[in-house]
C-alpha cells in the first residue's frame, strides 16, 4: 500500500472519532477513543476492484 510505505505506526480513525484497536487476545477488534495499541500487528489485504 503506497499510503503506508514509510510508516512505522498507523492509527485508523473512523468518522465517529474512534480508532480501530486490537485486543490482547490477538483476535478481537474494537473501537476506542484512545488509539494506542502498542503490541498490535496488522495485515493489509487489497481487494481487487475496490477503491476504499
- Write the pLDDT tens digit of every residue in 2-48: 677 777 777 788 888 888 887 778 788 888 887 666 666 777 777 78
Provide the CB-side half-sphere exposure for 9 (13 A, CA). 9
Q: What is the pLDDT of residue 39?
A: 67
Q: Looking at residue 22, what is its pLDDT?
A: 78
Q: What is the pLDDT of residue 37?
A: 66
Residue 40: CB atoms within 10 Å: 15
Report the SS3 class of residue 45: coil
Strand extents, DSSP E, 1-52: 19-22, 29-32
Q: How far is 41 from 51, CA to CA, in rounded Å?
A: 23
Q: What is the pTM of this model?
A: 0.53
Instruction: Kindly indicate the confidence band of residue 50, based on its pLDDT and cuts at 50, 70 and 90.
Output: low
Give the Cα separation of 24 and 31 in Å (integer): 14
Amino acid at each position: 500500500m503506497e499510503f503506508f510505505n514509510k510508516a512505522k505506526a498507523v492509527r485508523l480513525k473512523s468518522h465517529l472519532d474512534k480508532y480501530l484497536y486490537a485486543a490482547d487476545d490477538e483476535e478481537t477488534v474494537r473501537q476506542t477513543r484512545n488509539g494506542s495499541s502498542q503490541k498490535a500487528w496488522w495485515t493489509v489485504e487489497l481487494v481487487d476492484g475496490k477503491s476504499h
